[in-house]
Chain A
Amino acid sequence: MSENCALRRANVLANHILQSPPHPSNNSLAREACLQYTPPEVNESYGFQVKEMRKLLDGHNLEDRDWLYGIIIQSNLFNRKERGGGKVFVSPDYNETMEQQREISMKRIMYFLENGVFQGWLTETSPEAELKKFALYEVCGMYDYSLSAKLGVHFLLWGNAIKFFGTKRHHEKWLKDTEDYLVKGCFAMTELGHGSNVKGIETVTSYDPRTEEFVINTPCESAQKYWIGEAAIHANHAIVISQLEINETNQGIHVFIAQIRDQDGNICPNIRTADCGHKIGLNGVDNGRIWFDNLRIPRENLLNSVADVSPDGEYVSAIKNPDQRFGAFLAPLTSGRVTIASCAIYSAKVGLAVAIRYSLSRRAFSAVANGPEVLLLDYPSHQRRLLPLLAKTYAMSFAANDMKMMYVKRTPETNKEIHVISMGLKALLTWHNMRTLQECREACGGQGLKTENRVGHLKGDYDVQTTFEGDNNVLMQQVSKSLFAEYVSCKKRNKPFKGLGLEHMNSPRPVLPTQLTSSTLRCSHFQKNVFCLRERDLLERYTCEVAELQERGKSREFSFLLSHQLSEDLSKAFAEKAILQAVLDAEAKLPAGSIKDVMGLVRSMYALICMEEDPSFLRYGYLSRDSVGDVRREVSKLCRELRPHALALVTSFGIPDAFLGPIAFNWIEANAWS
């Protein structure tokens, strides 16, 4: 290292002396003055076992993940490119047309099918099988989110709808064929006029007892099915979500199976489809629109786990309350949210791995005259931009893992909790990903603009995550409403809080110290108290405000709407606390040692950056102005302490080099002439 410094100095001096264009005989000297790429590994050391950290982060099915990474890298279907000294990269070719991207995405899926990637995705139900599915799904999304979105439509929406809403006859007929891609499914729920508000869907289905058929209709243009993934080209069957009208009585939302194309891909009679067109990302997915013109389907095509229609046209349901029936229908969307949230974190990991590796090999400006240029990540400002996002990504990674575990081990008793947590985390994690990608894009400078470097394009591809399977803002309002309901119900029945992490509300309100020393700020007990205090106080304020509005004669729904500011603060407080709890749980399981130490730094960074960023702490007085200043100083200190671990922390993501961009490695050689 000292040799390098000396050399660089000599070069700076030489350049200084030779300010006029160098003499031709000094060619060798001029060449020496060029920048040299030094891999971050040369000057950074690992303070902990990255392999062990990766086990914690990925949490499950590491070998399956590596296998899928491997079959992507080794195949020619994935736009494999060699750059800079034989380094191989795989990444979709975004210069292809939308049509080409859709075709190649389907080919990639068929390649996975041949290799048995989807084995058991619908036909096996053990927690192990579900975790394996999650792991493989996450890897697909790191290559190209179009693949995950296509698989999500086929397996998680079409397949799971049959699994959860259907009964034995549907399972036998469809599940195995879906797994083998003998049928290609789509999920026709959202319409031009209704997205988040599923109850308002206008597509209507009636029953004809003479032929024992259902008849599906699109009564007006706003009822056209819109954004239906795979509907423009690939799908030959659709789940249709529609109002069911029996004897002129609307029985609410029901779920049907309709064939929309024949085996050769020709559109069926009484169906019209159109393309949704080019999008800001995810162009490998053929989103389409569907109209139904008196489409007749057999009576058996009603997915009848919740309700059925008898051959002579009588409506039967075990659940009498239409609202509850509606809730039962929407339950499968949970698995979609779980995968969206976990994929978002893997995308953030790609962005951070690229940006941090680049910041450890790229220099800019000298701190002293003629001195060597400074490594980007040695700038405190650059640390402040990237390292808190890194810590948050770590924390959210543990929260996503906990959520997956909770989901695969779900019971009727835990359903509500999973529902609420998955809404909160889906929103927070997808927002975090978008923000992280933007910061990483900027941190890569101009290089971040090139699609080969991944970060920039991920933004376009992952943006949809904040909208689909529940608009983030709507989901967060739901979180607050659920907390409200929980609060009201516990108070009314005078029962202690249980579940949703609200047990702390049974203890006295925590008191925070006025003087915050460094060690207090890093103490997990203190951090947890701060987060609990915020959640508790906001929940009380929110319920109070809603109750006051109701007392003043406003309807319950309208009162919720008016309390949107508190609702926003509360749902964030809830989700951020759930994430902190996940890190604390992960940390508690670790034996003393280097990994536990660095996890402590990561957790403190997560907790303190949340405190620094959320104005609630100051607004509602949980922290004083002085305390907020102390928090800010501590964040800066933590940046310095995490800096030496930056490389090890992103290496622990376990992302193969081929999945990152050329700027994460020797970007000089990758950009050299020839």
Chain B
Amino acid sequence: MASETQVLVDDKSSVRILTLNRPKQLNALNSNMITLLMQLFLEYEEDPNVKIVILKGQGRAFCVGGDPLPVFRDIVIQGLGKSWRVGADFFSEQYKLDHFMATYSKVQISILNGIVMGGGAGISVHGRFRIATEKTVFAMPETELGLFPDVGASYFLSRLPGFFGEYVGLTGARLDGAEMLACGLATHFVPSSRLNALEADLCKVGSSDPVTFASAILNAYTKHPKLKQHSAYYRQVLDVIDRCFSRRTMEEIISALEKEATEKPNEWISATIRALKKASPASLKISLRSIREGRFQGVGQCLIQIITTTCLTMQGCRAVVIDKDRNPKWEPRSLEEMKDNMVERYFERVDEEDGWEDLKLSPRKNLPALIIAKL
């Protein structure tokens, strides 16, 4: 596929509709798409005619995140020595895009009509409006891959109600549209059959204030769907989540869950424990720490911390994604073996002598009003 068609652009007077167009790869982001998106978003921010930017995906996914395969392949070919540098280039572009969106002065509306994972969340959740539908499936599956939720997830997960963010980030639990709306990851819920009409209405923005205008249109379309029967967002499950995922360490979280499971066994709790036991112990501890630190950081700081951690994580965990036998052998193998000082290493500053540079986020004008991201 020609690289320029990987992001389709539809020009509707004051509205630009961008469609991620790699449906076979579930719209996974490659560096070409990231560069294109960055160029387009930059251009629209400057262009006084553009009021609203709509971002959506072709096919059954919105976006499953950064496409890690080329990056990992490069790491293997180039050997260990320079591995972080290759990753750093890919991820720093992606995080710069996330940051740009988080501080965007125009209205971004992401239509999440399908799968949203990892980096897909990074290019949508930071934006002003996120529309879920009955087809939405959201997950941060990184711990299962030996990575950890990046793309500013430590910012937005840590700001979900109670300890739901820890739950979503650590277990990789799937959320549907109704749950996304309930926890605040989505701002609206619109049935997919109404999306075309919604887009058409949004295109009538004219000279009115785009935020007020878009809010009014979206509020008119939004539905309040019922949570599914076994949703984790029902009060009694949320209470368990808050009781267990608030614990100080990963070990304590798991033992709290196990205690609950003995006292009141149910399918949700066994699935949750299974997911945690299957995940990389190193990833779990790094993810927990990253969410906990993220709670006190601005979105920019979260991204700067994350790139350091990501690149270090990739060195440690790279073998897993490439060996696709689905039976990963984690190193270290247990939570107990992943000591505090080993976790600490991922959060320390990398020495500048090694040629490392912290992520440089471009200073944003209008930052005063927008220094707090929109979630």
Complex interface: chain A residues within 8 A of B289 (CB)? 63
Residues of A contacting B247 in the complex (Cβ-Cβ under 8 angstroms):
115-116
For this complex, into which size category does the number of interface residues on chain B fall?
20 to 34
Contact with A along B276-302 (1 / 0, CB 8 A): 000000000000010011011000000
| A66, B292: Cα distance in complex, Å | 7
Chain A residues 312-342 with CB under 8 Å of chain B are none
In the complex, residue of chain A having the shortest beta-carbon distance to the beta carbon of B163: A74
Q: Which residues of B contact A71 (CB under 8 A)?
A: 246
- In the assembled complex, the Cα of A69 lies from the Cα of B293 at a distance in Å of 10
Q: Residue of A at shortest CB range from B370? A: A85
Assess A67 versus B292: contact at CB under 8 Å? Given A75-B162, A115-B246.
yes
The answer to whether A49 touches B372 (Cβ under 8 A) is no
The residues of A that contact B371 with a CB separation of less than 8 Å are: 39, 41-42
Most buried by A among B158, B248, B289: B248
- Chain A residue with the shortest CB-CB distance to B256: A116
Name the residue on B nearest A658 (C-beta).
B296
Selected from A37, A67, A656, the residue in CB contact (under 8 A) with B248 is: A67
In whole Å, how far is A228's beta carbon from the nearest beta carbon of chain B? 32
* Chain B: minimal CB distance from A653 (Å): 12
Which of B295, B368, B372, B375 makes the CB contact (< 8 A) with A36?
A: B368
Chain A contacts for B368, CB-based, 8 A: 36-39, 42
Cβ distance B148 to chain A, nearest Cβ, rounded Å? 16
What is the minimal beta-carbon distance from B369 to any residue of chain A, in angstroms?
A: 8
Residue of A nearest to B368 (CB): A38
Interface centre among B292, B374, B375 (most CB of A within 10 A): B292
Contacts of A371 in B (CB 8 A): none
Q: How far is the CA of A71 from the CA of B163 in the complex (A)?
A: 8
Docked pose: A85 CA to B246 CA in angstroms: 26
Task: List, in ascending order, chain B residues with CB within 8 A of A63's CB.
Answer: 289, 292, 340
Docked pose: A29 CA to B330 CA in angstroms: 63
A73 x B252 contact (CB < 8 A): no
Contact indicator A69/B248 (Cβ below 8 Å): no
B12 within 8 A of A: no
Q: How far is the CA of A116 from the CA of B251 in the complex (A)?
A: 13
- A114 part of interface (Cβ distance < 8 Å): yes
Residues of B within 8 A of A41 (CB): 371
Which of B243, B292, B295, B371 gathers the greatest number of chain A CB atoms within 10 Å? B295
Contacting residues, chain B, for A52 (C-beta < 8 A): 349
Contact call A49/B246, Cβ cutoff below 8 A: no
Q: Considering only CB atoms, which chain A residue lies closest to B363 in the complex?
A: A42
* B163-198 interface bits toward A, Cβ cutoff 8 Å, 1 = contact, 0 = none: 100000000000000000000000000000000000
A87 proximal to B (CB < 8 A): yes
Whether the pair A86, B296 counts as a contact (CB closer than 8 A) is no
B367 contacts A by Cβ under 8 Å:
yes
- List A contacts of B374 (CB < 8 A): 86
A52–B161 Cα distance when bound, in Å, is 30
CA distance A300 to B296 in the complex (A): 50
CA distance A87 to B374 in the complex (A): 11
Chain B residues, Cβ within 8 Å of A74: 161-163, 242, 246, 295
Q: State the Cβ distance, B217 to closest chain A Cβ, in Å.
A: 21
B349 surroundings in chain A (CB, below 8 A):
49, 51-52
Q: Which of B292, B367, B375 contacts A70 (CB 8 A)?
A: B292
- Cβ < 8 Å to A, chain B residues 210-265: 242-243, 246-248, 252
> Would you call B295 and A656 a contact (CB within 8 A)?
yes
Query: How far, in Å, is B111 (CB) from chain A's closest CB?
Result: 23
B:8-59 near A, CB below 8 Å: none
Whole-angstrom distance between the Cβ of A236 and the nearest chain B Cβ: 26
Query: With A and B bound together, what is the CA distance between A71 and B245 in angstroms?
Result: 10
Residues on the B chain within 8 Å of A115, using CB = 246-248
Nearest residue in A to B305 (C-beta to C-beta)? A51
Instruction: Give chain A nearest CB distance to B104 CB in angstroms.
Output: 15
Q: Which residue of A lies closest to B371 (CB)?
A: A39
Q: A42-B367, A116-B252 are in contact. Are A656 and B296 (CB under 8 A)?
A: yes
CB-CB < 8 A to A116: which residues of B?
A: 247-248, 252
> Chain A: how many interface residues by the 8 Å CB criterion?
28
Report Cα–Cα, A116/B253, bound state, in Å. Answer: 11
Q: How far is the CB of A648 from chain B (nearest CB, A)?
A: 14
A69 lies within 8 A of B162 (CB): no
Which residue, of A42, A86, A115, has the highest number of chain B Cβ atoms within 10 A? A115
**In the bound complex, what is the Cα–Cα distance between A69 and B295 (angstroms)?**
9
Contacts of B367 in A (CB 8 A): 39, 42
- Interface: A657 (CB within 8 A): yes
- What 0/1 pattern do residues 276 to 299 of A give for CB contact below 8 A with B? 000000000000000000000000
Indicate if the CB atoms of B248 and A64 lie closer than 8 Å. Answer: yes
How close is A363's CB to chain B, nearest CB, in angstroms?
A: 14
Q: Are A85 and B372 in contact (CB under 8 A)?
A: yes
Residues in A36-74 with C-beta less than 8 Å from chain B: 36-39, 41-42, 49, 51-52, 63-64, 66-67, 69-71, 73-74
Question: Chain B's nearest CB lies how many Å from the CB of A407?
Answer: 23
Q: How far is A116 from B244 in the complex, measured between Cα atoms in Å? A: 11
Q: Give the most central of B158, B161, B368: most A CB within 10 Å.
A: B368
Residues of B within 8 A of A75 (CB): 162, 242, 246
Q: Which of A66, A86, A87, A114 contacts B243 (CB 8 A)?
A: A114
Residues in A whose Cβ lies below 8 Å from that of B340? 63
Contacts of B375 in A (CB 8 A): 86
CA distance A73 to B297 in the complex (A): 14
**Distance A114 CA – B247 CA, assembled complex (angstroms):** 9
- List residues 97-116 of chain A with CB under 8 A from any CB of chain B: 114-116
Interface centre among B349, B371, B374 (most CB of A within 10 A): B371
Shortest Cβ distance from B372 into A: residue: A85
A281 to chain B, nearest CB (A): 27
Output the nearest chain A residue to B374 by Cβ-Cβ distance.
A86
Minimal beta-carbon separation of B130 from chain A (angstroms): 15
Min CB distance B233 to A, Å, is 16
- Chain B nearest Cβ from A349, distance in angstroms: 15
Chain B residue nearest in CB terms to A38? B368
From residue 138 to 187 of chain A, which have CB atoms closer than 8 A to chain B?
none
Pick the residue among B161, B296, B372 that contacts A66 (CB under 8 A).
B296
Interchain CA distance A657-B159 in the complex, whole Å: 13
In Å, the complex CA distance between A69 and B289 comes to: 13
In the complex, chain B residues 123-163 whose Cβ is within 8 Å of any chain A Cβ: 158, 161-163
Docked CA distance A116–B162 (Å): 17
Which residue of A has the minimal Cβ distance to B301?
A51
Set of chain B residues within 8 Å of A51, measured between Cβ atoms: 349
CB of B345, distance to nearest CB on chain A (Å): 14
A114–B259 CA distance with the chains assembled, in angstroms:
13
Q: Shortest distance in angstroms between B197's beta carbon and chain A's nearest beta carbon?
A: 30
Q: How far does the Cβ of B288 sit from chain A's closest Cβ, in whole Å?
A: 10
* A76, closest chain B residue (CB): B162
Q: Is the CB of A69 within 8 A of B296?
A: yes
Query: Which residues of B sit under 8 angstroms from A86, Cβ to Cβ?
Result: 372, 374-375
Near B by CB (< 8 A), chain A positions 607-634 give none
Do the beta carbons of B162 and A87 come within 8 Å of each other? no
CA distance A38 to B248 in the complex (A): 36
Residues of B334-352 contacting chain A, CB below 8 A: 340, 349
Q: Report the separation of the CA atoms of residues A114 and B252 in the bound assembly, to the nearest whole angstrom.
A: 12
Please, which residue of chain B has its CB at the minimum distance from the CB of A74? B162
Interface bits B306-328 vs A (CB < 8 Å: 1, else 0) = 00000000000000000000000
Lowest 3 CB-CB distances: which A-B pairs, in order? A656-B296, A71-B246, A67-B248
Which residues from chain A sit less than 8 Å from chain B, CB to CB?
A: 36-39, 41-42, 49, 51-52, 63-64, 66-67, 69-71, 73-75, 85-87, 114-116, 654, 656-657
* A67-B292, A74-B162 known, 18 other contacts, Cβ within 8 Å: A36-B368, A38-B368, A42-B371, A63-B292, A63-B340, A66-B292, A66-B296, A70-B158, A70-B296, A73-B295, A74-B161, A74-B246, A75-B162, A75-B246, A87-B372, A115-B246, A115-B247, A656-B295
> Can you report 23 residue pairs joining A to B where beta carbons are below 8 Å apart?
A37-B368, A38-B368, A39-B367, A39-B371, A42-B371, A49-B349, A51-B349, A52-B349, A66-B292, A66-B295, A67-B248, A69-B296, A71-B246, A74-B242, A75-B162, A75-B242, A75-B246, A85-B372, A115-B246, A115-B247, A654-B296, A656-B295, A657-B296
